[in-house]
A and B are shown apart, each in its own frame.
Chain A
Amino acid sequence: MSTPNDQAAVGDRAGRPRGGRLHPLTPVVRAGRVLVSLAALATYNLENIRHAGWWLPAIAVGALIVGLIASALSWAFTRFAIAGGEVHIDSGVLFRRSRQVRIDRLQAIDIVQPLLARALGLAELKLDMAGGAEGRVRLGYLRLDEAQALRAALLAMAAGLDHRTPEAPQRPLVHCSGGAIVGGALLSTQALIGFIWVVAFLAGAIASRQPGVFTGALPGVVSVFGAVWQTIQQHFGFTVADSPDGLRLRHGLFETRAQTVPPGRVQAVRIVQPLLWRMFGWVRVDANIAGYAGHRAEDGRQHNSVLLPVGTRAQALLVVGRALPGVDIDAVAMTRVPARAKWRSPLLWWTYRAGADEAIVSVRSGLLTKVHAVMRHEKIQSVRLSVGPWQRALRLATVHVDSTKGPVDVVLHHRDLGEGRRIVDAEVLRAERGRALRMPDRWMTTSPGPSAIG
């Protein structure tokens, strides 16, 4: 296989590029993932398997062989090339599929290495385009150095530079210690509920002298701590680095993931502090990134929208400062909601704070879990004002500042009705002004080039 830099030149602009192949071990890694999921299924159903006959392993082996053959065929029919600012991928055995993806629409690039791929020195390249799950392009598997070279070439092209530009240097910002990751996961609200669950059922079992009470609760406990374990596995060794190509995140214990989020692709961020994290002053930073939305289905959890899984507030501000350049989120003057909002929201009304300056809109709320959400005006998708019957009686209104899909919601609850209307007008105006002055999509060029989305 030729080197990626040659591949970038492969394929004349007019004709159909023939393109390169993925690594020949790709089917092995794909089938290996099937094996892992079979093994996981088996451990969950250990009791049933013990009573099953010889046919069960036979089915498993058969499924594995069929999977291997299918992946091998799929590999043989897949080719890719990079030409004319586009990625071309031809795939499909029976139904041929030809995709062309414009690189300037790139929202993020991930290099993912599952455990087996890591052992073989392979990696999968995931390109996230705006447009949800349909906009995701996977190139896997490639040799790790090839994947990295390809990423550098794609980022250079997306930035508006020549594809032979070497990879941009990076500067480390934050590294999360293993202790903080494990501690953070164990002190999360989710784990706390798990502990309470265990203690409650253990107490119930002891009080009633029936162990069945406790074993009945086990599946719930397993799923809660399975989720906690997943968080630890995915975030272990989290490092955040800054480069001219944007934020670079590396993390993962077994399956490692290296994410690159180019400048201007972060739509909104929030700083979250679960109840128990307060004693250590820890916070988490999440972000809305257009390409990452809608990938929940892949493994049931959205984990790649985390910019910092656990860190001090100073570290969080550092990361937020890089994700939204030129923004000082603590400089925004925040105002509370009118006291009459207590009739509508007796527990939370005094936690709502909101404010805006020329660059951002900023919202804080939360009694147990504190959330501080921030968004640049120019990233606003739409602005909504809603007034329910109870709110109308109290002359209150809620303003939603809509961002792309993701964990961050910017909602200004229960503002004074007149103020709410003024906020809507002001946000719309600032968004319009912001869009006119926005950063170019090709971040190394100076003019706002062809827009990513019409």
Chain B
Amino acid sequence: MRVSVRLRAMRRAVLGVVGVVVAVLAAVALTIAGSVLVAVVTVVVVLAICAALFVVIGRNYDSWGYAERGADLLVTHGVMWRRLVVVPYGRMQLVDVTAGPIERKFGISTLRLHTASAGTDARIHGLTAAEATRLRDRLAALGESQSAGL
């Protein structure tokens, strides 16, 4: 399963806002400081970095995936640092669904799985609110039916 394209949209929107703010601030500050050339070069560099990050966000978005399998949930993400986590339903201790203010604006949330292990790092970013609720309820039900002590 793929996560919602709104995750990519949100990250790119945040990048755009931050990039424009940084570029404008740098341009104004450097122009006041008296060097228009440096200001132009800085803005170009900032925009280049933003363009690179724009591509990186796309690639990172493409890397996210999860699968509800018979006895476990599989989550994978990462381009440079690739990660794959398999969590058996019977080992889930609790399922968290969180949504920050920006995530809420874009109608997405983050789902986190906790087991008795501190190492389990199973997060799914960019689930639509409906999908997050469905997945949470399903995982809770599966966790209950397959629960396996410690």
Q: Which chain A residues have a beta carbon within 8 Å of chain B's beta carbons?
A: 107, 130, 265, 267, 290, 378-389, 392, 400, 402-405, 409, 424, 428, 431-432, 435, 438, 441, 448, 451-454
Contact = CB atoms under 8 A, between A and B. Distances in A.
Given A265-B150, A428-B72, A432-B71, 4 more contacts: A382-B86, A388-B81, A403-B117, A432-B88
11 contacts: A130-B116, A267-B150, A378-B148, A382-B117, A383-B86, A384-B84, A387-B82, A387-B83, A392-B82, A402-B119, A454-B143
A397 to B, nearest CB: 8
B115 to A, nearest CB: 4
Given A382-B86, A382-B120, A402-B117, A451 B149 contact: yes
A451 B148 contact: yes
Contacts, number: 97
B149 A404 contact: no
Which of A386, A405, A454 counts the most chain B CB atoms within 10 A?
A454
Contacts of B88: 380, 382, 428, 431-432, 435
Interface string B14-36: 00000000000000000000000
Interface residues of B, number: 28
Nearest to B70: A432
Contacts of B98: none
B14 to A, nearest CB: 25
Interface string B70-100: 0110000000111111111011010000000
B116 A438 contact: no
A292 B122 CA distance: 24
B122 to A, nearest CB: 7
Contacts of A428: 71-72, 86, 88
Which of A290, A383, A409 counts the most chain B CB atoms within 10 A?
A383
Interface of B: 71-72, 80-88, 90-91, 93, 115-122, 143-144, 147-150
A405 B118 contact: yes
Contact of B91 (A107, A381, A392, A448): A381
Given A438-B149, A451-B147, A454-B144, A381 B83 contact: no
Nearest to B94: A454
Contact of B81 (A107, A130, A378, A387): A387
Contacts of B148: 378, 435, 438, 451
Which of B71, B115, B116, B143 counts the most chain A CB atoms within 10 A?
B116
B77 to A, nearest CB: 11
A453 B117 CA distance: 13
Contacts of A431: 88
A249 to B, nearest CB: 20
Contacts of A379: 150
Contact of A290 (B91, B116, B121): B116
B137 to A, nearest CB: 15
B81 A452 contact: no
A382 B85 contact: yes
A102 B131 CA distance: 35
B105 to A, nearest CB: 32
Nearest to B80: A389
Contacts of A387: 81-83
Contacts of A380: 88, 91
Given A267-B150, A392-B82, A441-B149, A384 B121 contact: yes
A386 B76 CA distance: 10
A400 B84 contact: no
A20 B131 CA distance: 51
Nearest to A449: B149
Nearest to B72: A428
Contacts of A388: 80-81
Which of A107, A435, A448 counts the most chain B CB atoms within 10 A?
A435
A402 B115 contact: yes
A453 B82 contact: no
A207 B18 CA distance: 58
A295 to B, nearest CB: 14
Q: Please provide the 6 A-B residue pairs with the shortest distance between their CB atoms, ordered closest to farther.
A: A381-B117, A402-B117, A381-B115, A385-B84, A382-B120, A402-B119
Contacts of A384: 83-86, 119-121
A434 B119 CA distance: 21
Nearest to A386: B83
B85 A435 contact: no
Given A382-B88, A383-B86, A402-B119, A454 B80 contact: no
A201 to B, nearest CB: 37
A452 B150 contact: yes
